[in-house]
Amino acid sequence: MDKDELKHLFKRYQLRQCTPAELERLRSFLETGDADNLLGDVWEDLQQQENTPHPIDPADRERVYHNILEDSRLGKKAPAKTWAIWARVAAAVILAAGISWAVMKQPWLPAKQPTPATLASQTVLPGTNRARIMFDDGMAIDLENTTSDTVIKKGSLLILKGENGAIRYATTSQQSEPIYNTIVTPKGGEYQVELPDGSHVWLNAQTSLRYPVSFQDKTRQVELNGEAYFDVAKNNQPFIVKTRNQQLEVLGTVFNINSFNNNITTTLVEGKVKLQSLKENNQARILKPNEQSVFQEQQDNFTVTPVDPLYATAWRNGNFSFNNANIKEVMGSIARWYDVEVEYTGNFTNNYFSGKISKFEQIDKLLATLALTGDIHFKRDGRRVIVME
């Protein structure tokens, strides 16, 4: 393995895009005698590339090392003797993925030292692939406790869990009545599901999606609460997503819906979608690619603006990405992903943030980065984060 391939695998690992074969190749290489020298070269290159002289915190190395060893996509664990090598790998992964928010690359953050914050010693880890399937008869299955290639059989229904952790459906016979499943991600969890028509849905943390296990009607209808990214398979049956007071209809396209707050935000990546209010005035809007609709439920009104969809969809690729977001929006995303509670002491009407950071950053470093603005500070007590002026 050469240096470029090694750096490439590190980046894919941090973005959670490594296939099981790539993970096994990375592990196998690092157990060879050649790994030591090459890692040193990669480390030096990455420091120059990121232009940061600061050493990586040993706690970060241990955390990433632990995550690699516990990766559910590998059926075995690396032997204990490889710990020292993996510690170096962790440090290289952190730099390769650009986890540190290099202040010089973020024009919205002043280049000064962070304000000291009181942070508790309890470790709070980022989220992982976690979800539960709920059946209409009350039965529930935790997908986190199932391995790749698991087959869940319930009557004529087969639920298959693939190598990437995603689930998909198959049936052994036609159902006389529609059967519904609900997939639920907790705080600190996200998951991918392939619907019976071949559409793919990525669920963000604290989200639920209810859907039939077979689309037998004239439409393909699902119900969403939370945030999800949809890649809808082209089909003559209209695909409908219902949220609280909004309905979206497409034939085949790519879009993101966020219904966490009082407004429902829909961002179109590809194709065309029709949005319709389910409230009294029943108004409708058509979205084109690179447009975003905000449905204000109290006013029963749509506002459509041009956007860069990367901001709305960055969470699916392992990042937080904010564009002039207020502090409560920012902390809402952090709370759902890290499974923490947030309290506010002060008036935060003028605190807005723009920028991007890996969702797999340690929460204390993430909070310290936000504190670089000098206008806001944090105190963490276990899973409670206090936001202060």
Q: Judging by DSSP bridges, how do beta strands 273-277 and 263-270 pair with one another?
A: unpaired
Instruction: For residues 150 and 298, state if they share a domain.
Output: yes
CA–CA separation, 11 and 182 (whole Å) = 33
Nearest-5° Cα angle at 276, 273 to 280: 175
Helices 35-50, 20-30: inter-axial angle, 10-degree rounding: 110
CA–CA separation, 108 and 356 (whole Å) = 11
Instruction: For residues 303 and 324, state if they share a domain.
Output: no
φ, ψ at 248 (rounded to 5°): -115, 135
Mean pLDDT score of the chain, rounded to an integer?
Answer: 78
Q: Mean pLDDT lowest for which of 1-5, 79-83, 249-253?
A: 79-83
At 317-364, the pLDDT tens digits run: 999 998 888 899 999 999 999 999 999 998 887 878 888 888 998 899
CA–CA separation, 379 and 95 (whole Å) = 26
**Assigned domain for 122 exists:** no
CA–CA separation, 280 and 295 (whole Å) = 14
Q: What is the pLDDT of residue 117?
A: 45
CA–CA separation, 250 and 287 (whole Å) = 10
Instruction: For residues 28 and 93, state if they share a domain.
Output: yes
Domain span including residue 44 = 3-99
Task: Work out the percent of the chain whose per-residue pLDDT is above 70.
Answer: 70
Structure tokens at 319: 């990042």
- Give the CATH number, domain containing residue 329: 3.55.50.30
CA–CA separation, 219 and 238 (whole Å) = 5
Domains in the chain: how many in total? 3
Nearest to 99 by CA among 363, 313, 288: 363
Nearest to 89 by CA among 61, 69, 53: 61
Instruction: For residues 294 and 323, state if they share a domain.
Output: no
Q: What is the pLDDT of residue 72?
A: 43
Instruction: For residues 78 and 168, state if they share a domain.
Output: no
At 253-305, the pLDDT tens digits run: 999 999 998 899 999 999 999 999 998 778 899 999 999 999 998 888 999 99
**Assigned domain for 304 exists:** yes
Structure tokens at 301: 């009104």
Q: 211 by DSSP, 3-state: which?
A: strand
CA–CA separation, 141 and 9 (whole Å) = 33
284, amino acid identity: A
- Give the CATH number, domain containing residue 207: 2.60.120.1440
Burial class for 26, CB neighbours closer than 10 Å (0-12, 13-18, 19+): buried
CA–CA separation, 61 and 258 (whole Å) = 33
Binned at pLDDT 50, 70 and 90, residue 14 comes out as low
Binned at pLDDT 50, 70 and 90, residue 369 comes out as confident
CA–CA separation, 128 and 144 (whole Å) = 9
Model confidence at 64: pLDDT above 70: no
Instruction: For residues 364 and 294, state if they share a domain.
Output: no
Boundary of a domain, candidates 312, 335, 362: 312
Instruction: For residues 181 and 267, state if they share a domain.
Output: yes
Please state the pTM of the whole predicted model: 0.68
Instruction: For residues 277 and 308, state if they share a domain.
Output: yes
DSSP string across 40-86: HHHHHHHHHHHT--PPPPHHHHHHHHHHHHT-TTSSS---GGGHHHH
Region 173-194: mean pLDDT is: 88
Instruction: For residues 343 and 272, state if they share a domain.
Output: no
Bridge partners, residue 303, by sequence: 294
44-48, 218-222, 296-300: which is most confident: 218-222
Contact indicator for 104, 54 with CB cutoff of 8 Å: no
Instruction: For residues 178 and 222, state if they share a domain.
Output: yes
Instruction: For residues 365 and 279, state if they share a domain.
Output: no
Q: What is the pLDDT of residue 144?
A: 83
Boundary of a domain, candidates 312, 336, 352: 312
Q: What is the pLDDT of residue 386?
A: 96
Region 368-380: mean pLDDT is: 86
Instruction: For residues 297 and 337, state if they share a domain.
Output: no
Contacts of 118 (CB under 8 A, 6+ apart): 379, 380
**Assigned domain for 178 exists:** yes
Helices 83-96, 58-69: inter-axial angle, 10-degree rounding: 100
Boundary of a domain, candidates 283, 312, 341: 312
